[in-house]
Amino acid sequence: MSDYTKLTSFGPVPEGFIWGTATAAHQIEGGNTNTDWWRFEHTEGTGTKESSGDACDSFNRWREDLQLVKDMGLDAYRFSIEWARIEPADGEFSTVALDHYKEIMETARGMGLKNVVTFHHFTTPLWLADMGGWTNPVIVEKFARYCDVAVKHFGEFIDVACTINEPNMVAWIGYDLGAFPPGHKGDMDSFRTATKNFAAAHRAARPVLKAGPGDFPVGITVAISDTRFHLDGDRNGPETSPFDLPEDFPGAEHKWLMVDAYLEAAEGDDFVGVQTYSTHHVGPDGQQLPHPEGQRVTQMGWPFSPAAIGNTVRYAAAKSGLPVIVTENGVAATDDADRVEYISVALTALREAMNDGVDVRGYFYWSLLDNFEWASGFAPFFGLTKVDLKTFARSPKPSSAYYASLVASSR
């Protein structure tokens, strides 16, 4: 912990502003076996720490999860529906899976909660991964077809739709860094192709979702780190903000693949989802520079920098010209007091951005639960709620009460 001024009131928010918390199917449901991620977790040498296994058993315990959201006095629950369950084989749709998600949405509505539904959150059905996944352009029409079937089944219960979650991370980490499926390293051609297909899939899905039933905003959610560029390669040297970069700097393509490609693809959307965790200092090629000694980091090894969100909402709003929803923001911390500090400083920065005129329509803390953090397994604790991985008992942490108090202060 450090000295900081604890925010005690967020103050009034514009009408329609949505407070919530987020999860994703593969990270909480358990037994999500028909996906590229499950196979990756069970393949030796991929670097994934452990299997997602039963995760938080939310496939069965989703009612408890909704109750936790309700107990905090939030407006909405952001969660994802699992493509591999809904379409277990090419063109074969499961009514049972569709009904399962419909029941969650109907129940949430009955409790007075809004459903913020993500259609793709990192996992891809195995049958499609075997066809080349996001590098095969056929995925564009497959994704649109799946969205069409899903929205026809439960569109009337959707309040906000997020087409694809952080395609930039899936493409970068999957094809360049190799730590997500399919585990390619330095495969720049695939990185570029996947980016193109992700953008096209988002654009193809939008009119399908807009056709309803239901009438709800549609957008894409993008991982945007608060990035400081050191064009001379010196971590202690001058910083250039992403607004002021020369057009032809060496990392221009990387920056485009990482962020701007999606802010462009979002043109004509109802909002852009901003997901920010940290500040990163990068060299002229866009690659991260080593942290200075004594850098305070989170459990993920990322700089502890809750104010980052203030800069990223400004960037995304200015670049896209769209309203922003903070669809994810949070910290992995063993000490929950660090989470309280993170939320306090992050929401202070968000308030400032809103006071400066940035059109922010909602905020979602990541995550409702301690859950399966992809290649890092269950060790990083992002949750407002602790989950016992043997009994699946949920225990809200003090940070959940603190978050709830700030939400209440905005009413």
Residues of the shown chain interacting with ligand GAL in the complex, contacts defined by CB under 6 A: 24, 27, 165-166, 169, 223, 275, 328, 366, 373-374, 382
Q: Would you say the C-alpha torsion 9, 15, 20, 22 has a positive or negative sign?
A: negative
Q: In angstroms, give the least distance from the CB of 115 to ligand GAL.
A: 18
| Bridge pairing between strands 18-22 and 360-366 | parallel
* Closest to ligand GAL by CB, 18 or 369: 369
Q: Would you say the C-alpha torsion 282, 288, 291, 297 has a positive or negative sign?
A: positive
* Closest to ligand GAL by CB, 13 or 365: 365
Q: Which residue type occupies 72?
A: M
Tokens of residue 397, six digits: 């942490």
Per the omega criterion (within 30 degrees of 0), is the bond before 250 cis? Answer: no
* Closest to ligand GAL by CB, 53 or 214: 53
Render 92-142 in DSSP notation, one character per residue.
B--HHHHHHHHHHHHHHHHTT-EEEEEEESS--BHHHHTTTGGGSTHHHHH
Q: Which residue type occupies 171?
A: A
Residue 231 vs residues 107, 288, 293: alpha-carbon distances, Å: 52, 12, 21
Q: In angstroms, give the least distance from the CB of 30 to ligand GAL.
A: 16
Task: Round to whole Å and give the CA distance between 297 and 375.
Answer: 18
Q: Is 298 helix (H, G, I), strand (E, B) or coil?
A: coil
Q: In angstroms, give the least distance from the CB of 367 to ligand GAL.
A: 7
Q: In angstroms, give the least distance from the CB of 109 to ligand GAL.
A: 24
* Closest to ligand GAL by CB, 169 or 307: 169
Q: Tokens 């894409």 map to which residue?
A: 220
* Closest to ligand GAL by CB, 27 or 197: 27
Task: Round to whole Å and give the CA distance between 364 and 328.
Answer: 5
* Closest to ligand GAL by CB, 122 or 315: 122
Task: Round to whole Å and give the CA distance between 55 and 377.
Answer: 10
Q: In angstroms, give the least distance from the CB of 372 to ligand GAL.
A: 8
Q: In angstroms, give the least distance from the CB of 118 to ligand GAL.
A: 9
* Closest to ligand GAL by CB, 134 or 366: 366
* Closest to ligand GAL by CB, 169 or 177: 169
Q: Tokens 């499926």 map to which residue?
A: 181
* Closest to ligand GAL by CB, 271 or 382: 382
Q: In angstroms, give the least distance from the CB of 332 to ligand GAL.
A: 7
| Bridge pairing between strands 324-329 and 218-223 | unpaired
Q: In angstroms, give the least distance from the CB of 154 to ligand GAL.
A: 22
Tokens of residue 56, six digits: 């938080």
Q: In angstroms, give the least distance from the CB of 177 to ligand GAL.
A: 13
